[in-house]
Amino acid sequence: MWDMVTEEVGYNRLDELSMTGAWREMISQGAGSARISSKSSNAKAEAETIVMRLIRRATPVELAIQGEIIGQQLTLEETSAGKVLITGQRDRDDSARDVKKLVRKKNFLSKLGCVIQ
């Protein structure tokens, strides 16, 4: 929103943000800021330059599941994520079975003339 304030106000606000709250934390960890004017004929190129700079600085990240499958040679089911998924699937299946049992029981009791609400 640089186009909506004077340059002095913009830089004062940037300094204020950089010294407080979330921005201070992000900057302490290596984040930065860049000024792009939406009215600039080069706005798109400026944004692309920033994105390319970020891509070049990016550090590859290995997910735990990658380390478990590749490094430890575990199957998907043996990984931490796989175990959570399997447990969730079992819980869902158990719940579905419980619901079916209750429906059968309700239908049986209804045939006997019992009113169930």
pLDDT at 80 over 90: yes
pLDDT at 108 over 80: yes
| Half-sphere exposure (Cβ direction) of 81: Cα atoms closer than 13 Å | 10
Angle at 8 between CA 5 and CA 10, to 5 degrees: 50
pTM: 0.43
Dump strand ranges (E) for 41-115: none
pLDDT of residue 115: 76
Tokens of residue 31, six digits: 């984040």
pLDDT of residue 84: 95
Question: In the predicted model, what is the mean pLDDT of residues 41-66?
Answer: 87
Of 60 and 81, the one with more pLDDT: 81
pLDDT of residue 98: 96
